[in-house]
Each structure stands twice: as structure tokens, then as C-alpha cells.
């Protein structure tokens, strides 16, 4: 089953196209992570999925029905989809009343309402503040209450814009677990944005990468702004953040944004061929697990992320703090 199906959806502000999606399917009951740099259009997309904003052009199907962006039509759909904003707003009243609002609207009886409110607040660890004035809460408290407010409504879809950006470590884990659990138990479809790759991959079944309004297939790592200077016949010298120089095949010059494919970077403990092009030396600062792969972050002027297969990892066994040698294949660098 598909929850959403989008085709040719764009959103234009003034003359700026901030969203331009050819086609996107969101499956029911799955968890999607939406990644991308600032201003990529993540929030814009979530607002459209939440029926809180309309696309400039394009068609959207929700649960197999085409969506008409008119007031009367959208209201029943909004009952099934709840969005938690990036900077959530709580109504100027108590935490309790904030949670009660959506339930009251759905005509949930008082007793059940009270039970759901208590449960939801408990899930985000905010039950002790049920009678607090919501607009006086701290940043992280606000975010957690906003999430509880959405969860309390048991919608079909929850759209979370950076659900844990201001949440403390303990509760980040709680929230991630909570989302995973309701996804499983209630067949909830979840789309969330994040700048934390680790969190995204650990929670999501699928990762969408948005860049300048377009869906990109590339992953959201090793994205750099660099300056190119032409060298010779289709080769260019590329300086990344004034600290790393690579040689890549390109005819362009000037300021560009480029991605280095983390799966196309080689790693070794000992030097085999110092003269190989784009050979770098750096220190391992982090090693982490990621969906059947191992993520290794090497600091060499800038932070470069490598995705190693399990075999490669156990073969090289890079230890944190160790100096390693990496080499970037010229075709690993993609200019966007």
C-alpha cells in the first residue's frame, strides 16, 4: 500500500523553486528519513505532505485518492496526518490542554482523553509537567510535548521535522524507541527530517536525500563546498575548505559543491603507493555501525566519512586514534 504518491510536485516562492520532485512514493507503515542541507526544502515537503501548504504545481495521491487543495477537501485528510514542526508551537495554556485539543476535536470521551494524555506524556517523559504553562517550557520540553501531542492522536501518518534537535540524550533515545514502537504496533507511517545521519539510518527503513529542492540518490555525506581551478585536459584541482587538495576530472572552475561517495574511498593502515593520486593521510576519530556497513570518520583537514563493508573493516581493523591512509578515486567525486 502507498500512503503518498507525488508526481511533478513543485513549490515556488517568488521566482525561487524551493521544491521540485519528479516522483515520490511513500509506503504505508514505513519509516522515512528525509535528509538534506539547510534550505533544501525538507520542511516545505513535510508541510505539503501534512496538507498545510499547497504545491505550486503537481499531483498528490494520498491513500490512493487524488488530493484537491481546497479547504473543505483537506480537513478530513488532516485528521489522518499530524505534523510536528521544526520549531513547534504550543498553545498559550497548560500542557494538558495542549494535548486535549486534538482529542476533544475528535470527540474522545473525557475519561479516555485523560488516560491517553497521561500515557502520551509518559512516553516522552513529560508527565510531571502536565499542569505547567506550555509556553513557558524549555526548548527540549516544548519539543517533547509537541511530539506527545501528535502521538496522542494516533494518526495514520506522523511527519516530524527534526524531532530530537533540542532533546537531551536520554530522551532522544526514548523518542527514537517510541517512534519505532508505534510504527510497529500501529502501522504508523513516519517521515522525519534530521541532520543526524546515524539517527536517521538507525531509525528509518528508507532514506531520502533532498538537495536544492530535488530528490537526490546520493547519500548525504561528504558534501563540501570547494574551489576548482583548471589544470589540464579535463582535470581540475579542487581545494576543499582551504585544507584539502584533490585532483578531479572536471572542466568547471570556480566555487562548486561536491560530494565524495563514501563507498568509493579506500583505506589502508600502511602505505602502498604514496604517489597514487588523491592520497591522503588522517586520523580515525569515529567508528560506528550502520546497516550492514561500518562508518569510519577520518580527520584529514576536513572530516571525511567512509562506508566500509564488514569484510574490509575486519581486514583493515582501523582503530580510533590510529593514523590511516585513504585514497579517493577520481570518479568518487561528483559535482552537484
Partner 1 sequence: MDFLLDSLISSFMLVASLDRELFSVVAVSLKVSITSSLFASMIGMPFGFFVAIESFKGKRMLITCLNTLLALPTVVIGLFVYALISRRGIFGPFDLLYTQKAIIIGQTILIVPVVATFTIAAISRIDDRYRKTAMTLGANRFQTIFVIIREARFGIAAAVIAAFGRVVSEVGISMMLGGNARGFTRTMTTAMALEYDKGEFTLAVALGIILLSVSFGINLLFHFFQGRTGQ
Ligand X SMILES: Nc1ncnc2c1ncn2[C@@H]1O[C@H](COP(=O)(O)OP(=O)(O)OP(=O)(O)O)[C@@H](O)[C@H]1O
Site residues, ligand X (CB under 6 A): 13, 18, 36, 38-44, 86, 136-141, 166, 168
Site string for Mg ion, 27-66 (x = CB under 5 A): ---------------xx-----------------------
State how far the Cα of 35 lies from the Cα of 162, in Å rounded to an integer.
10
Query: How many C-beta neighbours within 10 Å does residue 169 have?
Result: 8
- Which of 78, 136, 205, 276 touches partner 1 by CB under 8 A? 78
Asked if 161 is part of the footprint of a copy of itself (rule: CB under 8 A), the reply reads: yes
Give the burial string for 63-86 (b: 16+ CB within 10 Å, else e): beeebeeeeeebeebeeebbbbbe
Q: Which residue in the set 3, 153, 188, 324 belongs to the binding site for partner 1 (CB under 8 A)?
A: 153
**Cβ nearer to a copy of itself, comparing 114 with 290:** 290
What is the three-class DSSP state of 228? strand
CA distance 171 to 151: 15
200 binds partner 1 (CB under 8 A): no
Counting contacts by CB under 5 A, is residue 234 touching Mg ion? no
Answer for which of 58, 88, 125, 163 binds partner 1 (CB under 8 A) is 88
User: Does residue 67 contact residue 61 with C-beta atoms inside 8 Å?
Assistant: yes
Provide the phi-psi class of 32: left if phi over 0, else alpha when psi is between -120 and 50, else beta.
beta
Rounded to a whole number of angstroms, the minimum distance from the CB of residue 118 to ligand X is: 19
Residue pointed to by grid coordinates 496526518: 81
Q: Of 263, 283, 284, 272, which Cα lies nearest the Cα of 328?
A: 263
- Does the protein bind a copy of itself through residue 191 (CB under 8 A)? no
Residues lying near a copy of itself in the complex (CB under 8 A): 13, 36-40, 42-43, 86-87, 125, 136-141, 144, 161-162, 165-174, 195, 197-198, 220-221, 223-225, 241, 283-289, 294, 302-303, 310, 313-314, 317, 319-321
Amino acid at each position: 500500500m502507498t500512503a503518498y504518491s507525488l508526481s511533478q510536485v513543485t513549490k515556488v516562492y517568488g521566482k525561487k523553486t524551493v521544491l521540485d520532485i519528479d516522483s515520490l512514493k511513500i509506503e504505508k507503515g514505513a519509516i522515512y528519513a528525509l535528509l538534506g542541507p539547510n534550505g533544501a526544502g525538507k520542511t516545505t515537503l513535510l508541510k505539503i505532505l501534512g496538507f498545510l501548504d499547497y504545491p505550486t504545481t503537481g499531483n498528490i495521491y494520498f491513500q490512493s485518492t487524488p488530493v484537491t487543495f481546497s479547504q473543505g477537501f483537506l480537513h478530513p485528510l488532516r485528521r489522518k496526518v499530524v505534523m510536528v514542526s521544526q520549531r513547534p508551537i504550543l498553545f498559550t495554556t497548560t500542557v494538558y490542554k495542549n494535548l486535549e485539543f486534538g482529542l476533544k476535536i475528535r470527540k474522545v470521551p473525557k475519561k479516555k482523553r485523560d488516560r491517553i494524555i497521561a500515557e502520551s506524556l509518559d512516553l516522552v517523559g513529560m508527565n510531571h509537567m502536565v499542569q505547567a504553562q506550555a509556553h513557558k517550557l524549555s526548548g527540549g520540553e516544548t519539543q517533547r510535548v509537541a511530539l506527545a501531542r501528535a502521538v496522542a492522536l494516533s494518526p495514520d501518518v506522523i511527519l516530524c521535522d527534526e524531532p530530537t534537535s533540542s532533546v537531551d540524550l536520554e530522551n532522544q533515545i526514548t523518542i527514537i524507541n517510541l517512534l519505532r514502537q508505534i510504527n510497529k504496533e500501529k502501522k504508523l507511517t513516519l517521515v522525519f527530517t534530521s541532520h543526524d545521519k546515524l539517527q536517521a539510518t538507525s531509525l528509518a527503513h528508507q532514506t531520502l536525500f533532498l538537495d536544492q529542492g530535488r530528490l537526490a540518490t546520493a547519500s548525504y555525506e561528504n558534501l563540501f563546498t570547494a574551489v576548482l581551478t583548471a589544470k589540464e585536459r579535463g582535470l581540475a584541482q579542487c581545494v576543499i575548505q582551504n585544507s584539502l587538495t584533490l585532483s578531479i576530472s572536471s572542466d568547471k572552475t570556480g566555487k562548486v559543491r561536491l560530494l565524495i561517495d563514501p563507498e568509493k574511498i579506500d583505506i589502508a593502515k600502511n602505505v602502498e603507493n604514496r604517489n597514487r593520486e588523491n592520497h591522503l593521510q588522517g586520523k580515525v576519530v569515529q567508528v560506528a555501525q550502520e546497516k550492514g556497513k561500518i562508518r569510519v570518520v577520518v580527520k584529514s583537514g576536513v572530516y571525511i566519512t567512509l562506508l566500509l563493508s564488514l569484510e574490509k573493516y575486519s581486514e583493515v581493523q582501523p582503530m580510533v586514534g590510529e593514523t590511516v591512509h585513504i585514497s579517493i578515486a577520481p570518479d568518487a567525486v561528483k559535482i552537484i
